[in-house]
Structure 1
């Protein structure tokens, strides 16, 4: 299995002097357990616990004192009590309220132990059973594989090295676009990436997608009432065709479900991290504030799942240019996925910008806070396209930086809005969307 970028974040956590127990967040099957298995090579001792196992849950029996719980865990792992380099990984922790409550004591009473916990649908489980101790744990978000991780899995080491250069050399552009087309098709779910890297057979990958969708549904349904399952299934099925659209809860997916039913279904699905609602902001100044009164868009977990469920894999696979079949909304979607995957903070969110006035509506695909500025990002599916909304944003802001994601080489344009304001436009290829922070640093410092 290829190494995940999260290992770097985990090592930073390991080396912190004020380290707290770590909650590893992320959707089912994004590779949390595998990442910890890789991470465990940096320890002398490893104890893996799965709270779906009754014997493992018994180690945290509420009748046991904290000291006895620790002794039981160490005995289970055949690890001496005085060991100084031991990691304890508690998987599916949502199945044990006692294990969750025990986390509050690890930081103060056993700082020599490295505690990592993970699970599926943690928030839903918390709502029902227990709560994580505030201020006594820290969090790390894991996403599906990034473009970098994808090309690493394919063995493209030279391209991986070139991506470290800012700006990327022009001679690497066409090869990167070809790899991006594959990434669009396959997505970033680790099992799908691993299967494709060894077989290059999309048919075999499709069975992975089907299994993933089934496991997501099973997971969500664990924490919902039986009568509510049909609403959840409808929302998930309908969501794939609503990508790129502003949605309304009432009658979502041409249904008769109420706004309340659809909203509650989305809340649970978001807790499973299968998809999220992204809301507009209306200000051009920090902080970015989501306007929950306005219609949101959808951001799904993975483009591979999206294309499989939408039935457009063949068109993407045989096309010479991704934009020929993906259209603006799908290109816009994967760009959002890639930007969002650059966030390791579970509370981080992604937004678009909207100005809704009579005869003067405007919408910018994404906005990104870089230091004290909000940078507008427009995503174009082809070589040309108007930037009317981006111009409105630039006219309203007090800086002169903007980004356009497309199929062109990296370049910086001296541009002018319709109203005559001069600004700098950074043109970036789609495949660099997840590198937005590094490129904004280069862009702003050099202009």
Structure 2
């Protein structure tokens, strides 16, 4: 019997292939359309968030500010105009940052762009920066480190002016910019700046009024020291920096200014203008304009000349140990953030007891030049570096004590674990 023919398939292969292709295309279209709408949704959502002022002040509002002005310049060669008004309007748009602005300080420091020539220069600068970071963390200050010359002619001691000015523009939420030289070291970590003293002033610098404004026939270029200074973020300061810089390397009369300053300050050791003698000259020749708003601080060491300080570290340390042995509350262990409070209590105790040997607030290694090593010839280079290490360890002891350790020997970076109730129970 003949074999029956097989039945044909009800759906040809071509039709199945066409259906599958249409299904895949439809699926791809659906996915792409969904992704497009999700993209629009998230773009719209996040754009809406960015265009709002957040409670913590991170994203900014869409309103135009002085930053949108193409004429605004960060250059020290272009004077800033109407800065107080610009800054006021910006703060109005950032209410979360405007709160507490009067107490806000930005510490600015820096060093040269290239590596140090001195074999231990980079190490010393790193530790000196760590010292400043420690102080700022304890007291709640922001800190900025610059290793760039923001103007090619403004280097060395003049490099501070461009970065101070740029910092004011970049940080309208800051009331004070505090410049501290790289070779200046905090050696009293508890001390808190008495900012209430300066409420009617715009510039605070360590100096002596009689040396700056008096003795016109025998002026000294050391009547103040510009290595540690506070300057208010305001139009007055913008104008002061502008006028101050005109005596520096960007001036066409730079060499002539050097002759004027050399003839004014008989003890000035070099012929070209420097920032320090230039500032003194501005203050006493235009006292009404600049001097009236400048506070010459001499009641504490906003910076202290290192030669007269370093030899007394051990003696001061013993004085403070005796103080804590007598007053148990001062040696109590505490959180690092409480250090300023304990510092205030220590000040009260010292006034009550008439204690005179205090830690210098800032020890300034003027003339040591730790980076390039070209120190003042009247100093011994090795002594400079060793004393900087001792100063750094002296300041660091006040920091790492809150972590349970201490440098027993100021000549060494080695640390020892502190016993409970130190110094009543001593290390030795």
Q: TM-score of the superposition, structure 2-length normalised?
A: 0.26
Tell me which structure has the larger Cα radius of gyration.
Answer: 2
Larger relative contact order, structure 1 or 2 (CA cutoff 8 Å, min sep 6) = 2
- By percentage of residues, which structure has more strand? 1
